[in-house]
Amino acid sequence: MDSLEGKIALVTAANRMHGTGTGIALELARAGADVAVNGRYHPPDDLPRHEREADWRGLESTVERIEMLGRRSLALFGDVSRPEDVRRMFDQLIEHFGRIDILVNSAAQGAPGVKLIEMDVPTWDTVIANTLTSVFLCSCEAARRMIRAGNGGKIVTISSRAGKVGLAGFGAYSAAKFGVSGLTQALAMELAPYRINVNALCVGKILSSTLRRRAERQGVPIAEAIRRLEDENRNEIPLGRLTTPDEIARAVRFLVSSDADYMTGQSINFTGGRIMH
């Protein structure tokens, strides 16, 4: 796989110690890119116990890890569902790095277990804003900057199997992720003349920070939580296991490299075979 040396990337939702966004940011840095990272600010006392015990400090720690790899980084705090935050974030990025070559949309939010017929409008609006509107805002802002620079670019969104198959109890999230697939195709068509590729990666169950936080709340050891989750899903996942942020990160690295220059408008399954259409 080719190097990303000299590329400038932005990864949203890269503030969790074991999160998908953090894993992607570190992988792009290992490939040679300078990486700006976005996330909301959380006071230290609000962080999960396992992060506090590891002296994790959110975006600041992600930046430190990127810099330890010999790459430049920048923490961009903000809510990517708010247009004013997104504009300010990209202004800061361009002022610091001069351009953007790669955007990875990793931010999302669900409302697990809430049936659509029981869901209130504020909850629906929050899920759509954080999972779909955020992708629209960040992708369009990045595309405008890429078009002005005239050097092409790559946009990748972390989507979900919920964007391929509607899931009961995840109705708003499924609607948002199906929307991501349509947005990906429309943007790919509009941005192709500018050599900007737009793709999405539809991932399945992940061994990530969300699982660790859930286990922590339930008082279950993380190893036990992983075993239970894999047992529950083993018969539905042909490869028989969950994926990891590192595996997702390597797939993203391919999609933002020149090896994927002829791929655009795709919502690619990354579910261990659970979804094959």
Catalytic site residue 262?
A: no
Helices 134-149 and 171-191: angle between axes, nearest 10 degrees: 10
For residue 17, the model assigns a pLDDT of: 87
- pLDDT beyond 80 at 28: yes
The pLDDT-based confidence of 135 (bands split at 50, 70, 90) is very high
The string of pLDDT tens digits covering residues 205-239 is 887 666 666 666 677 777 777 777 777 777 888 99
Q: 116-130, 150-164, 234-248 — which is least confidently predicted?
A: 234-248
For residue 211, the model assigns a pLDDT of: 65
Q: Residue 71 and residue 199: Cα distance in Å, rounded?
A: 25
The string of pLDDT tens digits covering residues 74-130 is 999 999 999 999 999 999 999 999 999 999 999 999 878 889 999 999 999 999 999
For residue 20, the model assigns a pLDDT of: 95
Q: Which residue in the list 41, 173, 194, 262 is annotated as catalytic?
A: 173
- Extract the tokens encoding 120: 């209130």
Please state the three-class secondary structure of 132-176 as a single string. Answer: HHHHHHHHHHHHHHHHHHCCCEEEEEEEEHHHCCCCCCEHHHHHH
Q: Residue 104 and residue 111: Cα distance in Å, rounded?
A: 23
Q: What is the CA radius of gyration of the chain?
A: 18
- Extract the tokens encoding 110: 């669900």
Residue with tokens 């999972």: 131
Domains in the chain and their CATH numbers? Answer: 8-206+245-270 (3.40.50.720)
Hey, how many other C-beta atoms are within 10 angstroms of the C-beta on 64? 12
